C-alpha cells in the first residue's frame, strides 16, 4: 500500500472511517513531509504543527469513544494565507500585515474545523492575491514541485504546490481571475472556482470584492467535491453569499452525466496557445467523444475583451479595498522617529526658500505615504495606481463604467452558450509553467496568462481545471471546464467522468 501522503483525500477518508489509521498518524505524516520538503518548495508561510496534532488527537478520542465526527473526519487541509485565522498570523504574504493576528476566523476556516478538518498551516501566495506566479510574496517565492526552477502559478501557488508536493491532501485557495485554476494547471492538480457567492467571503481579505471567490484544490474531482461540500453554502454574515442550497457533492460526483453536450471555443485553440497544450486539449476532446459526449463549436465573441475588462475592474476594486491600510488602525507603520527626523532635515534645508517649504509633506501625510510605500510591494502598488487612475475624475466613464458594460456582454455570451451546451471546455492556460523571474520585468506578459480564466470571474460562473497531459519536458497541462452559475455538481461530475478515462490526475512528482 502507498504511503499516507501519496493517497487521495477520499482514500484517506475511507481508512480513517474504518479506523485503519488515526487522524494523528495522518496529520503527522503530512507535517513530516512539510518539514522535509518545504524548504525547497516554499509552499507554507506558517505551519501549525502543535495545534494540528492536538486537533487530530481530539478527533481520535471522539471516534474511539463512539462519538460522531465531521465530514472531513480528521483529514488535513492547508489554507491560503488570505483567510483570517483567530489569533494566528494572517499576512496575505505582505509586509503590510506582517504581524496581523485577526480576532476571528473566516467562515471557510470555521466550516473546515467544524467538519473536523485538521488545518496544517497557511500557504504562500502573491501579495494580497495580486499576481500569477507567487513570486510577488513579500517573504519568499514558491517553487513548482515538478520543476523547482519554474513558478507554481498564482496567486494560490502555495496552496497548489502543497497538494502537488504531497504536503497536504486538500487545500483552500481563492480565485479572482484564475488564481485557483492557473496554479492547478501549472502544478498538475484539480482546482475549482465556484460560482460567485457559493462560498462565503466573510473573513477573506479582499482584493476585488465582485470577483474574489474561495474554492478547493485537490488531487481528484472526488477530493475537490468533498472539500467544496464542507465550505459551500449560504452565510447570513456575508451580504454577497448566494442564498441557494449546496448539493451533496461528495455523494453525486461519481454519477455519470448522460448526453453531455460540450462546447469548444475554437478561438481558444488558435494563436497564442502552446502547441503541446493544444495537442493535449485535442486529445481530451477525443476522450470525451469516446465517453459519448456531443462536441460542438460555440462562440464567445466578447471574450477578446476579457483581459482588458478584468484589468480595469480588478485594480479599481483593489484600489478601493486597500485604501484602509494607512498605517493608523492596524498593519505596517513606518518608523516615525526616522520619518520626523527626515522631515526636519528637509525643512531646514528649504528654509532659504519659503515656497519650497509649502511643498514638503505634513507629518501626517508623510506617515501615510511612507507606511504604504514601505508596506506594499511593487505589484500591489502597480494595481492600486492603475485602479486609482481609472476611478479618477474624467476617467471613470471612459474606463470603469465602460468595463462594467463589457462585463455584462461577457456574461450574456455565456448565457447564450449555455443555452446550447452543458459545459464549455478548453485550455486553462496558454503556456505551461514558466521559469522563475522570466516575466517579472514584463507584467503584461504575466497578465496575458489569464486569457482563458478571467471571463469566468467576470461572468460569475463556476469553472474547474483538471490535469490533461504533460509536456515533453514533464510539465503538467490543465484542461478547463466551465458550467453555468451554481452548477458545481455538473462541473465536478464531468471532471470525474474524464478522470475515470484518464490517469493524468494520478501522476505524482
pLDDT over threshold 80, residue 64: yes
Q: How far is CA 144 from CA 150, 428, 478, in A?
A: 5, 17, 15
Instruction: With respect to residue 409, please indicate whether it lies within any of the assigned structural domains.
Output: no
Verify that 316 and 459 share a domain, yes or no. no
**Cα distance between residue 449 and residue 145, in whole Å:** 20
pLDDT over threshold 60, residue 49: yes
Verify that 251 and 316 share a domain, yes or no. no
Verify that 152 and 50 share a domain, yes or no. yes
Verify that 392 and 463 share a domain, yes or no. no
Of 339, 369, 399, which one is at a domain's C-terminal end?
399
Verify that 106 and 193 share a domain, yes or no. yes
pLDDT over threshold 60, residue 1: no
Could you tell me the CATH number of the domain that includes residue 33? 3.90.1300.10
Predicted confidence band at 267 (pLDDT cuts at 50, 70, 90)? confident
Q: Provide the pLDDT for residue 271.
A: 85
Q: Report the pLDDT averaged over residues 281-289.
A: 98
Q: Report the pLDDT averaged over residues 409-433.
A: 98
pLDDT digits (tens, 9 = 90+) for 378-419: 999 999 999 999 999 999 999 999 999 999 999 999 999 999
Cis peptide, bond prior to residue 155, ω within 30 of zero? yes
Q: Provide the pLDDT for residue 96.
A: 98
Predicted confidence band at 349 (pLDDT cuts at 50, 70, 90)? confident
Q: Report the pLDDT averaged over residues 338-364.
A: 87
Q: Provide the pLDDT for residue 353.
A: 79
Instruction: With respect to residue 336, please indicate whether it lies within any of the assigned structural domains.
Output: yes
Q: What is the chain's mean pLDDT, rounded? A: 96
Q: Provide the pLDDT for residue 145.
A: 98
Instruction: With respect to residue 248, please indicate whether it lies within any of the assigned structural domains.
Output: yes
Q: Provide the pLDDT for residue 71.
A: 98
Q: What percent of the chain has pLDDT over 70?
A: 100
pLDDT digits (tens, 9 = 90+) for 65-117: 999 999 999 999 999 999 999 999 999 999 999 999 999 999 999 999 999 99
**Cα distance between residue 167 and residue 120, in whole Å:** 9
Q: Model pTM? A: 0.97
Residue in the structure block whose three cell numbers are 492603475: 386
Beta-carbon neighbour count of residue 336 at 10 Å? 14
Residue in the structure block whose three cell numbers are 514533464: 474
Verify that 86 and 234 share a domain, yes or no. yes
**Cα distance between residue 363 and residue 236, in whole Å:** 42
Q: Provide the pLDDT for residue 330.
A: 84
Instruction: With respect to residue 43, please indicate whether it lies within any of the assigned structural domains.
Output: yes
Exposure b/e, 139-173, CB count within 10 A at least 16 = b: eebbbbbbbeebbbbbbbbbbbbbbbbbbbbbbbb
Verify that 249 and 317 share a domain, yes or no. no
Q: Give the strand order in the sheet containing 476-483.
A: 44-47, 118-123, 76-80, 170-175, 213-218, 190-193, 462-470, 476-483, 423-427, 261-265, 294-298
- Residues classed as catalytic: 80, 155, 179
Q: Provide the pLDDT for residue 236.
A: 97
Verify that 43 and 127 share a domain, yes or no. yes
**Cα distance between residue 330 and residue 327, in whole Å:** 6
The counts of H helices and E strands in the chain are 18, 11
Verify that 375 and 502 share a domain, yes or no. no
* Domain span including residue 502: 4-263+420-506
Residue in the structure block whose three cell numbers are 509649502: 358
pLDDT over threshold 90, residue 453: yes
Instruction: With respect to residue 284, please indicate whether it lies within any of the assigned structural domains.
Output: no
Predicted confidence band at 215 (pLDDT cuts at 50, 70, 90)? very high
Instruction: With respect to residue 299, please indicate whether it lies within any of the assigned structural domains.
Output: no
Verify that 184 and 85 share a domain, yes or no. yes
Exposure b/e, 178-187, CB count within 10 A at least 16 = b: bbbbbbbbbb
Chain centroid, CA 234 distance in Å: 20
Instruction: With respect to residue 216, please indicate whether it lies within any of the assigned structural domains.
Output: yes
pLDDT digits (tens, 9 = 90+) for 130-156: 999 999 999 999 999 999 999 999 999
Instruction: With respect to residue 298, please indicate whether it lies within any of the assigned structural domains.
Output: no
Verify that 226 and 317 share a domain, yes or no. no
Q: Number of structural domains, the chain?
A: 2
Verify that 439 and 314 share a domain, yes or no. no
Q: Provide the pLDDT for residue 359.
A: 82
pLDDT over threshold 80, residue 355: no
Residues 6+ apart with CB under 8 A from 295: 262, 264, 285, 288, 289
Q: Provide the pLDDT for residue 479.
A: 98
**Cα distance between residue 445 and residue 137, in whole Å:** 19
Q: Report the pLDDT averaged over residues 162-172.
A: 98
Of 351, 370, 399, which one is at a domain's C-terminal end?
399
**Cα distance between residue 109 and residue 119, in whole Å:** 9
pLDDT over threshold 60, residue 481: yes
Amino acid at each position: 500500500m502507498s504511503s499516507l501522503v501519496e493517497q487521495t483525500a477520499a482514500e484517506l477518508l475511507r481508512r480513517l472511517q474504518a479506523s485503519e489509521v488515526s487522524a494523528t498518524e495522518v496529520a503527522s505524516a503530512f507535517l513530516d513531509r512539510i518539514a522535509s520538503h518545504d524548504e525547497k518548495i516554499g509552499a507554507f508561510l506558517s505551519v501549525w504543527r502543535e495545534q494540528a496534532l492536538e486537533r487530530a488527537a481530539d478527533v481520535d478520542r471522539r471516534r474511539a469513544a463512539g462519538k460522531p465526527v465531521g465530514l472531513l473526519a480528521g483529514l488535513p487541509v492547508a489554507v491560503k494565507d488570505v483567510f483570517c485565522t483567530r489569533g494566528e498570523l494572517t499576512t496575505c504574504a505582505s509586509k503590510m500585515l506582517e504581524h496581523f493576528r485577526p480576532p476571528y476566523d473566516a467562515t471557510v476556516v470555521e466550516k473546515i474545523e467544524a467538519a473536523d478538518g485538521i488545518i496544517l498551516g497557511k500557504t504562500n501566495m502573491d501579495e494580497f492575491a495580486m499576481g500569477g506566479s507567487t513570486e510577488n510574496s513579500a517573504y519568499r517565492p514558491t517553487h513548482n514541485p515538478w520543476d523547482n526552477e519554474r513558478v507554481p502559478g498564482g496567486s494560490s501557488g502555495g496552496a497548489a504546490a502543497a497538494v502537488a508536493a504531497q504536503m497536504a491532501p486538500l487545500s483552500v485557495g481563492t480565485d479572482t481571475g484564475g488564481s485557483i485554476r492557473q496554479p492547478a494547471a501549472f502544478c498538475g492538480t484539480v482546482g475549482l472556482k465556484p460560482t460567485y457567492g457559493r462560498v462565503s467571503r466573510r473573513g477573506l481579505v479582499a482584493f476585488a470584492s465582485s470577483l474574489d471567490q474561495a474554492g478547493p484544490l485537490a488531487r481528484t474531482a472526488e477530493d475537490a467535491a468533498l472539500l467544496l461540500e464542507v465550505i459551500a453554502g449560504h452565510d447570513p454574515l456575508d451580504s454577497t453569499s448566494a442564498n441557494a442550497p449546496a448539493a451533496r457533492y461528495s455523494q453525486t460526483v461519481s454519477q455519470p452525466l448522460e448526453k453531455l453536450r460540450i462546447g469548444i471555443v475554437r478561438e481558444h485553440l488558435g494563436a497564442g496557445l502552446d502547441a503541446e497544450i493544444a495537442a493535449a486539449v485535442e486529445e481530451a476532446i477525443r476522450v470525451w467523444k469516446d465517453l459519448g459526449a456531443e462536441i460542438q463549436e460555440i462562440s464567445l465573441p466578447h471574450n477578446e475583451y476579457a483581459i482588458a475588462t478584468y484589468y480595469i475592474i480588478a485594480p479599481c476594486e483593489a484600489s478601493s479595498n486597500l485604501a484602509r491600510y494607512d498605517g493608523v488602525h492596524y498593519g505596517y507603520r513606518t518608523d516615525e522617529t526616522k520619518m520626523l527626523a527626515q522631515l526636519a532635515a528637509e525643512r531646514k534645508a528649504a528654509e532659504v526658500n519659503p515656497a519650497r517649504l509649502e511643498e514638503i509633506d505634513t507629518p501626517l501625510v508623510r506617515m501615510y505615504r511612507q507606511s504604504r510605500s514601505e508596506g506594499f510591494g511593487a505589484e500591489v502598488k502597480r494595481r492600486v495606481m492603475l485602479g486609482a487612475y481609472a476611478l479618477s475624475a474624467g476617467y471613470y466613464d471612459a474606463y470603469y463604467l465602460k468595463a462594467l458594460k463589457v462585463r455584462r456582454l461577457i456574461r450574456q455570451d455565456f448565457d447564450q452558450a449555455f443555452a446550447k451546451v452543458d459545459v464549455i471546455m478548453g485550455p486553462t492556460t496558454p503556456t505551461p509553467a514558466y521559469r522563475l523571474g522570466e516575466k517579472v520585468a514584463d507584467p503584461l506578459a504575466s497578465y496575458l496568462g489569464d486569457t482563458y480564466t478571467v471571463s469566468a470571474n467576470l461572468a460569475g460562473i463556476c469553472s474547474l481545471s483538471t490535469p490533461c497531459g504533460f509536456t515533453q519536458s514533464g510539465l503538467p497541462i490543465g484542461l478547463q471546464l466551465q458550467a453555468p452559475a451554481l452548477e458545481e455538481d455538473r462541473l465536478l461530475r464531468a471532471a470525474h467522468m474524464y478522470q475515470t478515462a484518464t490517469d493524468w490526475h494520478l501522476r505524482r512528482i
